[in-house]
């Protein structure tokens, strides 16, 4: 009898302990680098230059499919030096090769994956990223910065408590040593900001977005995304075949707050949102137009669309001001109205004549012009204009 009670007590204790261990291991991933997301953790045997890692071998915390090469900064291939975006190590994916990691997430939540990527010898190299139910291929043909690599971000919605994040080289090159380079893989849980009472635009100040690495000076590129429900920039779509750049005030001049969007590649880089409107009601689209402070060569201008209205605005700040407030009036024709913005010109930086740049937009609002809301919109625009005048005078 006593032995039976002891066994029963032991069984109950094990049952109580098992869930606690399971819950501890299932804690959602924290914002920032994935485990060994920078590939700086040494594999068994240490780092070896030009070390190909075949399927079944180990890069700590990652699973491998196909041939993946763990490369080092300064490593040569033929007559060129392989690019390591940050730190001393990165991985290069061979033909149809992939690398992945499973992370714990919160089911139903949205996450953004930020990563750095570069191409090697092939102009048409690309990188396929899959996470949750999302799969997207990023074209690495266009280099947005003279550094030879760029940081990108994509979003996904967690359909389970675990998400498999995988990067794959979809190409099949004649030279097996070619293939995209991957580094600095990070994750961030996204929150959709509440819509302001008088402003129809969601996340119009761009304060909510993907993870940004603190020590990089080229922002994060947001490639094509036509799904407004799952976006690395909540509320917004990237309609075109080129990216826009998510920037912060640590490295760029931002009109207000911490974040903003730099428009790149002319009308090949369009950002848009469908906003709720009342048919036949008058509205105004307002936004702040500025310079990122990154030596972007003039002229700079933005084309703004609101419903059936379109207008371009040249960046021409007064005096020492770095931004200006602009607006477009329109009448809604439906219950949802498209607002969109793109750079009129293809701009590059004056210090290297290669890195793509453009005008910065911030504080995008759509206000109803009827009644008190219209008065508030007018007052808001007047305040913005007055602040510019103060900057000029003082």
Q: Mark whether 142 and 283 lie in a shared domain.
A: no
Q: Mark whether 47 and 130 lie in a shared domain.
A: yes
Name every residue whose Cβ is closer than 8 Å to that of residue 82 and which is 6 or more positions away in sequence.
71, 75, 76, 92, 120, 181
Of the candidates 341, 347, 392, 336, which has an alpha carbon nearest to the alpha carbon of residue 364? 341
Of the candidates 366, 194, 360, which has an alpha carbon nearest to the alpha carbon of residue 273? 366
Q: What is the mean pLDDT of residues 185-197?
A: 90
Q: Mark whether 199 and 313 lie in a shared domain.
A: yes
**344-365, pLDDT tens digit by residue?**
999 999 999 889 999 999 999 9
pLDDT of residue 278: 96
Is residue 150 assigned to a domain?
yes
Calpha distance 330→305 (Å, rounded): 9
Q: What is the mean pLDDT of residues 217-228?
A: 90
Of the candidates 291, 309, 324, which has an alpha carbon nearest to the alpha carbon of residue 392? 324
Q: Mark whether 267 and 344 lie in a shared domain.
A: yes
Name the range with the highest mean pLDDT among 55-64, 166-175, 210-219, 299-308: 299-308
Last residue of a domain, one of 190, 211, 237: 190
Can you list the positions of beta strands (E) in 280-321?
282-290, 301-306, 309-314
Q: Mark whether 140 and 274 lie in a shared domain.
A: no
pLDDT of residue 393: 42
Distance of CA 21 to the CA centre of its chain: 34
Calpha distance 260→251 (Å, rounded): 11
Q: What is the mean pLDDT of residues 301-327?
A: 93
Is residue 19 assigned to a domain?
no
Q: What is the mean pLDDT of residues 165-184?
A: 89
User: Which residue's entry shows tokens 């499973």?
Assistant: 102
Q: Where does the chain have alpha helices with state H?
A: 2-25, 371-393
Is residue 228 assigned to a domain?
yes
Count CB neighbours of 53 within 10 A: 20
Name every residue whose Cβ is closer than 8 Å to that of residue 114 and which is 6 or more positions away in sequence.
151, 152, 153, 184, 185, 186, 187, 188, 210, 211, 212, 213, 220
Torsions phi, psi for 61 (to 5 deg): 75, 5
Q: What is the extent of the structural domain holding 330?
A: 192-394
Residue 78 has pLDDT above 80, yes or no: no
Is residue 14 assigned to a domain?
no
Asked if 269 and 304 touch (Cβ cutoff 8 Å), the reply is: no
Total structural domains within the chain: 2
Calpha distance 264→169 (Å, rounded): 26
Is residue 52 assigned to a domain?
yes
The chain-wide mean pLDDT, for the chain, equals 86
Q: Mark whether 283 and 213 lie in a shared domain.
A: yes
Calpha distance 225→156 (Å, rounded): 11
pLDDT of residue 377: 47
Last residue of a domain, one of 158, 173, 190: 190
**370-390, pLDDT tens digit by residue?**
654 444 444 555 554 444 444
Residue 16 has pLDDT above 80, yes or no: no
CATH number for the domain harbouring residue 92: 2.60.120.260
Q: Mark whether 154 and 290 lie in a shared domain.
A: no
Is residue 181 assigned to a domain?
yes
Calpha distance 392→32 (Å, rounded): 40
Calpha distance 188→368 (Å, rounded): 34
Q: Mark whether 250 and 377 lie in a shared domain.
A: yes
Q: Mark whether 178 and 112 lie in a shared domain.
A: yes
**326-337, pLDDT tens digit by residue?**
999 999 999 999
Q: Mark whether 321 and 358 lie in a shared domain.
A: yes
**253-290, pLDDT tens digit by residue?**
999 999 999 999 899 999 999 999 999 999 999 999 99
Q: Mark whether 284 and 167 lie in a shared domain.
A: no
Q: DSSP 3-state assignment of 386?
A: helix
Q: DSSP 3-state assignment of 268?
A: helix
Last residue of a domain, one of 136, 171, 190: 190
pLDDT of residue 387: 47
Residue 130 has pLDDT above 70, yes or no: yes
Is residue 170 assigned to a domain?
yes
- From residue 320, give the alpha-carbon distance in Å to each of 59, 285, 290, 299, 323: 52, 25, 12, 17, 9
Q: Mark whether 151 and 224 lie in a shared domain.
A: no
């Amino acid at each position: 009898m006593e032995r039976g009670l002891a066994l029963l007590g032991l069984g109950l204790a094990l049952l109580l302990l098992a869930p606690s261990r399971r819950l501890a291991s299932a804690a959602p991933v924290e914002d920032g680098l994935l485990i060994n997301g920078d590939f700086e953790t040494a594999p068994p045997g240490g780092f070896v230059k030009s070390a190909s890692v075949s399927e079944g071998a180990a890069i700590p915390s990652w699973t491998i499919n196909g041939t993946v090469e763990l490369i080092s900064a300064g490593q040569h291939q033929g007559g060129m030096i392989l690019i390591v975006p940050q730190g001393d190590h990165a991985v290069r994916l061979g033909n149809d090769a992939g690398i992945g990691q499973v992370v714990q997430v919160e089911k139903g939540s949205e996450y953004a994956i930020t990563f750095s990527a570069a191409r090697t010898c092939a102009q048409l190299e690309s990188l396929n990223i899959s996470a949750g139910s999302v799969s997207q291929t990023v074209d690495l043909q266009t280099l947005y910065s003279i550094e030879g690599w760029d940081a990108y971000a994509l979003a996904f919605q967690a359909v389970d408590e675990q998400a498999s994040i995988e990067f794959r080289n979809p190409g099949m090159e004649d030279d097996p040593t070619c293939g995209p380079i991957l580094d600095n893989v990070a994750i961030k849980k996204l929150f959709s900001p509440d819509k302001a009472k008088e402003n129809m635009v969601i996340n119009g100040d761009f304060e909510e977005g993907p993870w940004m690495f603190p020590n990089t000076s080229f922002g994060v590129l947001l490639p094509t995304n036509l799904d407004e429900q799952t976006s690395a920039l909540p509320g917004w779509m990237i309609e075109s075949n080129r990216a826009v750049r998510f920037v912060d005030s640590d490295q760029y001049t931002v009109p207000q707050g911490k974040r903003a969007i730099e428009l790149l590649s002319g009308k090949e880089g369009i950002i848009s949102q469908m906003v709720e409107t009342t048919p036949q009601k008058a509205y105004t689209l307002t936004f702040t137009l500025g310079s990122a402070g990154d030596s972007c060569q003039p002229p700079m201008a933005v084309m703004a669309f609101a419903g059936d209205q379109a207008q371009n605005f040249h960046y021409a700040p007064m005096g020492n001001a770095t931004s200006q407030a602009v607006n477009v009036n329109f009448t809604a024709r439906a219950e949802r109205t498209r607002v969109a913005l793109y750079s009129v010109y293809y701009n590059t930086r004056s210090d290297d004549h290669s890195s793509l740049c453009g005008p910065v937009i911030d504080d995008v609002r759509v206000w109803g012009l009827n009644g008190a809301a219209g008065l508030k919109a007018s007052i808001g625009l007047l305040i913005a204009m007055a602040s510019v005048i103060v900057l000029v005078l003082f």
